[in-house]
Structures are given as C-alpha cells and as structure tokens.
C-alpha cells in the first residue's frame, strides 16, 4: 500500500486517479495495478503481492489525474525461503584411526541472498548432534552459496562400526533443510590375530608314530574387513615336534620314549606365536602344556634275594620258612608291578619296589619260582629262588 497526500503534490487533483505501470523489470510483465481511492486529499494505491527474489528491479508506477506523478516502489528482502543444498556427496569414505577433515565439499544456498553468508551446517546422527563429527568452512564459498566440510573429531574404529548415516543439517536461522550422506569406514590392519582354535593342553601316548599331527592351532585376522594370511611360529619347543607356519599343524617328528629320557622328555612347556603374514600388526601368543603319556612296553625286573634261602627241616606245613626283601622295578613309570608266586611261594603286591614275604611248605621242592607282572598283566618276569635245607 502506498499513500499519496495532497500536501506533497499541490498541483495534483485528488478526486480521480488512474494508474499504470511506467517502468518495470522483465518480471513485472504480469502485474496489474488497481485504481487508487481518494478521499479528503489523500489517495491510496494498492500494490500487488511482490516477491523480492522474483521482482528485484524497483517498480515504477505512473499515476495520472490532472498531472502525472511517478512513484517508485523499492522492495525490501525478508527471510521467507527455505535453504537448499547445491552439492552434496552421495557417499563418503574415511579410514579408521584417523582424525581430520574429509575432502568432500557440502554446499548450500538460499533464495534470500542476504542469508547465504549466515548459513549454518551441522552433523546429526539419529537427530542428535554427533560427538564424532563437526563442520568447518569449505573452500568454494561465494556470494551465491556457502560450502562446508566434515571434520572427524574422534578416531573411528571399523571393528566397532563400519558405516555411519550422517544427517547434514542446513539452517538460515529460521528455515532448515537436511540431507543424508552415508560415511563408510575403511578398515586398516590394526588388530592382532585372534585364536579360534587353541588346545592349551596336549596329551598323546609315547608310542605315537612319527608324522602324526598331535594338535592343530587356528587363528583368524582380528580385522573384520581385511583378512591377511596368518603365520605360525613355535617358540621354546624341542626337536621332537614341528609346527607348520602355514597351517598351524603341530606334528611329531621324532618319537619320544619317556622311559629312556626321564621326566624332562614327557612334560613340555612351550609357546605358540601367530602373526599376520605381512607383519602389519602385533602378533598373539599362547602357552602350551604338552604331556607324553606312558605306554606299558617294558618287562618288570627285580633284584635276586640271594643265592639261597635256608630251610628249617623241622618246619611244619604252613610255617614261614624265610622272610626276605625282593626289589621289583618297572621302567614304565605309570605301572605298578604285582608279585605272583609259582609252586608254593606267594607274594604281596605293592609299589615299584615290593617286599615279598614268601612261605614254603615243609614238602616244598628245593627250587621254586617267583613271578612278577604289571597290574594289567601284559608284561611279566620270573626269577628262581634256591632253597637250602638246614
């Protein structure tokens, strides 16, 4: 609405008023003016609804009555438009364990040109401002658009989360716009291998054949997205076993006779080490306890009690005629020899060294046999005992 008063235009006749557009920009071609209403020396001109973003050229109106008066209408801009994005990546990639600015430009504009320099941009995740990401000014800003770049504030972990859906929020202070950009986290070889099969206690019998795989160790790459081959190493082992660096198979390459070499040969402690083949990360270790179990493969033996035992000729049947120690030994550490008797002798079982209390009836022969066998009786031994009558 524009008002004309008689005091401002003394030669203008304010009883009848017509109006026409005298000069306008190209965008005013469709504008039609309404006749002014005059009363008491004052006329009012009705100007149609104009849009600054469309009709930026000043509107000049000619008012005709007795004389012509030219009125220029200068439009003032107001914030009445929603900002919009002029460029935004469809997706972004960024490596894990890195902090910095992502190179992609995100630009926005506003038909209200005065608001373009004041555009603000932020990153939301699930409609909440993100603690991992921020926004900094981009490099391509000008009078028509303002650009931004995403800054990674906290190192990302591929193993924790592989993809982020970022909501880019653009605001001119009154109106807002948003778009979504997926951020893909690129994996890096930063995780050590993890054991997926690790028999920490191994046991096998001493008669296991050379070439037999006594255990298998398996590790996988700790990086979920990158799968490097794993190399295995045997530390603090011995010449009897061998670990394949490619497969993790632990193989017996030399038979272990625990009865010959003693305790140090059948209880072994060593370490298995696994690392990525390109040595890109730290390896992982594990302690192994290996036990070689005994096999009953030796004949029990005992010491001779002496050249003879003295018989009492007047002895009666059932009397003890001698009391003597016989030491019995078995090289198989896990078996206990059990004495047996032949003829009229009998013995009592015990540990590896046994006392045999043998008796002889008065009518016994001059020589008897004493037998010794393992508990499970696969191996046995005998010896002769000479008896001398007194």
Are 351 and 379 found together in one domain? yes
Whether 78 maps to a domain, the answer reads no
Are 289 and 313 found together in one domain? no
Are 311 and 361 found together in one domain? yes
Whether 252 maps to a domain, the answer reads yes
Domain ends where: 45, 73, 101? 73
Domain ends where: 42, 73, 104? 73
Average pLDDT score over residue span 176-191: 90
Whether 272 maps to a domain, the answer reads yes
CA atoms within 13 A on the CB side of 219: 27
Are 89 and 176 found together in one domain? yes
Are 9 and 69 found together in one domain? yes
Using an 8 Å Cβ cutoff, are 333 and 294 in contact? yes
Which residue range is the domain that position 67 belongs to?
2-73
The Cα-based distances of 101 to 90, 91, 135 in angstroms read 17, 15, 9
Domain ends where: 126, 160, 186? 186
Residue 27 φ/ψ, nearest 5 degrees = -80, -5
Q: What is the CATH number of the domain that holds 266?
A: 2.60.40.60
Question: pLDDT per residue over 110-159, tens digit each?
Answer: 988 888 899 999 999 888 888 899 999 988 778 789 999 999 999 999 88
Task: Provide the strand spans (E) within 281-330.
Answer: 284-293, 301-302, 309-311, 328-329
Are 389 and 322 found together in one domain? yes
Are 173 and 207 found together in one domain? no
Whether 201 maps to a domain, the answer reads yes
- Dihedral angle sign, alpha carbons of residues 243, 246, 249, 251: negative
Per the structure block, which two tokens stand in for 35? 């006749």
Whether 345 maps to a domain, the answer reads yes
**DSSP string covering 259-282:** HHH-GGGTEEEEEEEEEETT--S-
Looking at the structure of the chain, the number of domains it has is 4
Per the structure block, which two tokens stand in for 105? 């430009």
Are 236 and 216 found together in one domain? yes
Question: pLDDT per residue over 351-382, tens digit each?
Answer: 333 333 343 333 333 444 444 445 554 555 55
Are 173 and 109 found together in one domain? yes
Task: Look at 25-34, 51-60, 109-118, 208-217 and tell me which has the smallest mean pLDDT.
Answer: 25-34
Whether 383 maps to a domain, the answer reads yes
Number of helices (H) and strands (E) in the chain: give both, helices first.
1, 31
Whether 336 maps to a domain, the answer reads yes
Using an 8 Å Cβ cutoff, are 289 and 202 in contact? yes
pLDDT over threshold 70, residue 27: no
More confident residue, 219 or 14: 219
- How do beta strands 284-293 and 201-205 pair? parallel
């Amino acid at each position: 609405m524009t008002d004309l008063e008689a005091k401002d235009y003394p030669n203008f006749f304010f009883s009848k008023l017509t109006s026409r557009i005298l000069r306008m920009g190209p965008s005013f071609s469709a504008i039609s003016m309404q006749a002014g209403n005059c009363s008491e020396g004052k006329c009012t001109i009705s100007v149609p609804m104009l849009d600054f973003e469309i009709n930026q050229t000043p509107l000049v109106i000619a008012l005709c009555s007795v004389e012509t008066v030219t009125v220029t209408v200068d439009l003032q801009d107001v914030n009445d438009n929603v900002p919009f994005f002029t460029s935004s990546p469809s997706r972004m990639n960024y490596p894990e364990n890195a902090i910095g600015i992502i190179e992609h430009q995100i630009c926005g504009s506003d038909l209200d040109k005065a608001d373009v320099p004041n555009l603000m941009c932020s990153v939301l995740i699930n409609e909440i401002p993100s603690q991992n990401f921020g926004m900094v000014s981009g490099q391509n800003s000008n009078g028509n658009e303002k650009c931004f770049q995403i800054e990674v504030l906290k190192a990302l972990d591929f193993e924790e989360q592989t993809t982020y859906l970022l909501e880019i929020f653009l605001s001119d202070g009154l109106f807002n716009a948003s778009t979504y950009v997926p951020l893909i986290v690129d994996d890096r070889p930063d995780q050590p291998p993890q054991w997926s099969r690790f028999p920490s206690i191994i046991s096998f019998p001493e008669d296991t054949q050379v070439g037999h795989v006594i255990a298998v160790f398996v590790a996988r790459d700790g990086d979920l997205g990158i799968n490097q081959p794993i190399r295995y190493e045997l530390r603090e082992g011995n010449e009897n076993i061998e670990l394949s660096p490619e497969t993790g198979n632990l193989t017996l390459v030399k038979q272990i006779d625990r009865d010959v070499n003693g305790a140090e040969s059948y209880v072994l402690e060593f370490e298995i080490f696994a690392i990525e083949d390109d040595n890109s990360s730290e390896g992982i270790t594990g302690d192994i306890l290996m036990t070689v179990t005994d096999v009953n493969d030796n004949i029990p033996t005992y010491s001779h009690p002496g050249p003879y035992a003295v018989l009492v000729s007047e002895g009666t049947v059932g009397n003890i005629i001698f009391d003597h120690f016989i030491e019995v030994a078995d090289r198989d550490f896990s078996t206990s020899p059990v004495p047996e008797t032949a003829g009229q002798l009998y013995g009592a079982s015990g540990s590896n060294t046994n006392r045999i209390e043998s008796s002889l009836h008065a009518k016994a022969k001059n020589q008897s046999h004493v037998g010794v066998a393992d508990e499970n009786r696969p191996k046995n031994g005998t010896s002769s005992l000479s008896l001398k009558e007194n």
